[in-house]
Structure 1
Amino acid sequence: MTQVLICGALIVTLSMGIRHGFGLWLQPITMERGWTRETFAFAIAIQNLMWGATGPFAGMLADRFGAFRVLLAGAVLYAVGLVLMGLATSGLAFTGSAGLLLGMAQAGTTYAVIYGVIGRNVAPEKRSWAMGVAAAAGSFGQFLMVPVENWLIGSFGWQNALFILGCLALAIMPLAIGLKEPKVPGHVVGFQQSIGQALREAFGYRSFQLLMAGYFVCGFQVVFIGVHMPSYLKDQGMSPEVATYALALIGLFNVFGTYAAGSLGQRLAKRHILAAIYFLRSVAIVAFLWAPLTPMSVYVFSAVMGVLWLSTVPPTNAVVAQIFGVQYLSMLGGFVFFSHQIGSFLGVWLGGLLYDSTGSYDIVWWIAVALGIFAALVNLPVRETAIQRAAAAAA
């Protein structure tokens, strides 16, 4: 279990850490290439959508053949995508590299694949905690990598910074050895399902639908803030360092938030944890918009949002495992995450689109507030008990 947690956490640290800094490239790339913010935002939106769309298939492959092979392919795609992102000279090429390739790479190197291995190798009573540890690692990656990426851009230029990160992404390959499983997942004692049966069962189950609806909101909020907040702050006269510190604080405090959410999931109803997180996000955004904008208010907001940032991940995935078991956990987690990424697509794309059309991010901030309240409400009726399969097993 220790090896799985350490290697899984380091992989998530790299894969999530690199992607969390993409907002730092918005202004240098658009200014040098002469693109609008919507061009950049659309590519990142496609990245999130592709990440979500290919996540279930990466999960299926990981459930069937093991995470090791999926992680190797994901690492190569990550490196190639970053290099081509730096070389792209048209909006179409940028969307193909930063959007399509990096989206597929993230599907094969992040939570759905890692959580499948954790679910199969960690005892149920420790599963929520272990998922919290992996999510906290992704948060630490943001805290660690955002300042590093800002330094790389300042020291080597935005293009060379992407090439360096491409080389760094290849470090996922040796770490993947620690997630090799002794046999093909799924050969376990008990009731077995086909992929089709598992999908019909999950998508016909009300609680699964509600979890997907809540996760949609999570994606909308965090990706809009992560990509557009640096530009929002610069528009308000803040220095670039404020945005860098803000993103780093989100990553730092999310280490504590995700770990706490995973630990609390061992003792409290996970639906209540999720509802509280979404509601408090809306409260934090409203307070941020109403308070006078100063560097200190930005840092306080970032710290609060950091605690709530990816803290939805451990309880959401733990509920999926709790309801459906671990046989197809990577695949089902991938489908839930697809909903998250549809929200991410809309959050980042609408941010760029509405800014270009109105000159302000205000409308998108308030959409994020309303969606947070909606997500809090839809998580309350989720049933966390294991689904009953007695009739199916007997048949």
Structure 2
Amino acid sequence: MIPPSDFIHGPWRAVPVLGVTQILAWGGIYYTPVLIVPMIAREHGWSMSFAMGGFSVALLAAGLSAPYIGRAIDRFGGHLVMTAGSLLGALGLVLITIAEHRAAYIAVWILLGVALSASLYDAAFASLGRIFGAAARRPITALTLAGGFASTVGWPATHFLTEAVGWRGTYLIYAALLVVIAAPLHAFLLPRERFAAAPPPTDGIKAPDKVLPARGWPFVLVAGGFAVYAFVPSALAAHLLAIFARSGIDSDTVVWIGALFGPAQVGARVIEFAFGRNLHPLWIARIALTTLFTGFIMIAVLGIAPPVAAAFAIVFGGSNGLITIARGAVPLALFGASGYGRLMGRLAFPFLLVQAAAPLVMAAVIDGLSDTAALALACAFGTAALVCFYVIRRPA
């Protein structure tokens, strides 16, 4: 058991602090484009491809800046770097409300991309690795439980706000939340000390005795596995519900099916937190990707009908929830806590690049071939990730 005092005076207070700030960053910056960018495109007379391309540029900027963000967290701490990320995010949200020129619009998204890199899971995991060292797996899992509610909170809140105050007012409100809540939480409540040198934990978790060097084939397989997997959630988040609708499922049912993703994601993380602590993170990744592969086979064999689509949404959500944990836990278990922030930045770079490209590639396959071919492509990327994680061997 974790002493309650650790959530107030000890290192575990990082988890609720980052839990709140993750919901604000994901909900205010990452999840808003799907609802707000169409409004921006209509108002400025821009094409949807250009307007949404700004968000892709942001993800590209996030990937390019991720290694530097990770190194900065290792050196200075998340309390400084993530505070800067919150303030940059707020500045970007304010500037996007006054960006009238196309070049200014893209420039603001580049700024927001750097803010995302310093605000989302990769930065939070790096901060937890600096604070907890080799014992960071449970805090990482606990954090993802809170982060899993970001879309559940963010999309309804954005919908309500855009109806009430318009898209500009919505972005200004989110900017204020980042300045008034997220930045102070990072600056004043996120632990500053390095807890990696503390005595081993007493809850049955033992730090690994041997680690692999973060280079060569082990690193390539880990980076490649997560990068190719990044295609799956990014592509499906953009196109899966539309594919279900084109298959003949009515719009109300499609929305209901989409709502299953969030709870399935959180449910899988709860199970891992409760029962998976003694299971090596590599097996968490393998189990998740095997389950996802089974879901794709189910759709191929049974076709897309409401019960099958609902089952796939649950499988997809649960698998993605576990992979999010594995993104933080696998590098820690294989390569150790030394330089963990820099390592997470190096791993985030290819992940975010693939994530940025996936919706565009998926759209091209749908337009040029078919929905079936697009789902097969997503399955192929997931299978490639599964192969990477089965090939990796943990230290003896």
Q: Which TM-score band applies after superposition, normalised by the shorter structure? A: 0.7 to 0.9
Select between 319-328 and 372-381 the one with higher mean Cα deviation: 319-328
Name the structure 2 match of 1:350.
361
Select between 280-289 and 174-183 the one with higher mean Cα deviation: 280-289
Tell me the CA shift for residue 364 of structure 1: 3.2
Write the deviation string for residues 94-121 of structure 1: whole angstroms up to 9, x where unpaired. Answer: 33323x1221111111222222332243
CA distance in 2, matches of 1:353, 1:89: 29
Give the alignment's TM-score, normalised by structure 1: 0.81
* Stretches of structure 1 lacking an aligned partner (at least 5 in a row): 190-199, 387-395
Name the structure 1 match of 2:384.
374
Instruction: Establish whether residue 6 from structure 1 lines up as the match of residue 35 from structure 2.
Output: no
CA distance in 1, matches of 2:288, 2:345: 21
* Stretches of structure 2 lacking an aligned partner (at least 5 in a row): 1-10, 200-211
CA distance in 1, matches of 2:240, 2:44: 21
Query: Could you tell me which of 87, 94, 103 is aligned with 1:76?
Result: 87
Equivalent residue runs for 1:120-135 within 5 Å = 120-122=130-132, 124=134, 126-135=135-144
CA distance in 1, matches of 2:82, 2:40: 29
Distance 1:95 1:303, change over 3 A: farther
Specify the SS of the correspondent of 2:321. coil
Tell me the CA shift for residue 212 of structure 1: 0.8
**Amino acid of the structure 2 residue aligned with 1:141:** A
CA distance in 2, matches of 1:289, 1:146: 30
Instruction: Establish whether residue 66 from structure 1 lines up as the match of residue 77 from structure 2.
Output: yes
Specify the SS of the correspondent of 1:310. helix
Query: Could you tell me which of 231, 251, 261 is aligned with 1:220?
Result: 231
CA distance in 2, matches of 1:14, 1:174: 13
Write the deviation string for residues 270-320 of structure 1: whole angstroms up to 9, x where unpaired. Answer: 223212222322332454576665666554433322111232122232221
Instruction: Establish whether residue 153 from structure 1 lines up as the match of residue 165 from structure 2.
Output: no
Query: Could you tell me which of 214, 234, 245 is aligned with 1:202?
Result: 214
Contact 1:21 1:142 in 2 (8 A): no
Contact 1:135 1:259 in 2 (8 A): no
Name the structure 2 match of 1:322.
333
Percentage of matched positions with identical amino acids? 21
Select between 59-68 and 288-297 the one with higher mean Cα deviation: 288-297
Name the structure 2 match of 1:211.
222
CA distance in 1, matches of 2:240, 2:198: 46
Tell me the CA shift for residue 43 of structure 1: 2.2
Instruction: Establish whether residue 277 from structure 1 lines up as the match of residue 291 from structure 2.
Output: no
Contact 2:221 2:389 in 1 (8 A): yes
Write the deviation string for residues 145-184 of structure 1: whole angstroms up to 9, x where unpaired. Answer: 122122223333333322322222222112112213136x
Tell me the CA shift for residue 70 of structure 1: 0.7
The number of aligned residues is: 371
Select between 260-269 and 306-315 the one with higher mean Cα deviation: 260-269
Contact 1:257 1:308 in 2 (8 A): yes
Equivalent residue runs for 1:231-246 within 5 Å = 232=243, 245-246=256-257
CA distance in 1, matches of 2:300, 2:44: 32
Equivalent residue runs for 1:297-316 within 5 Å = 298-316=309-327
Contact 1:351 1:361 in 2 (8 A): no
Give the alignment's TM-score, normalised by structure 2: 0.81
Write the deviation string for residues 47-73 of structure 1: whole angstroms up to 9, x where unpaired. Answer: 222222211211111110111111111
Task: Give the alignment's Cα RMSD to 1 decimal.
Answer: 3.2
Name the structure 1 match of 2:153.
144
Select between 306-315 and 22-31 the one with higher mean Cα deviation: 22-31
Instruction: Establish whether residue 54 from structure 1 lines up as the match of residue 48 from structure 2.
Output: no
Tell me the CA shift for residue 371 of structure 1: 0.8
Distance 1:63 1:381, change over 3 A: same
**Amino acid of the structure 2 residue aligned with 1:372:** G
Instruction: Establish whether residue 108 from structure 1 lines up as the match of residue 118 from structure 2.
Output: yes
Write the deviation string for residues 342-390 of structure 1: whole angstroms up to 9, x where unpaired. Answer: 22022122234455x549655433211111111111101223338xxxx
CA distance in 1, matches of 2:357, 2:72: 27
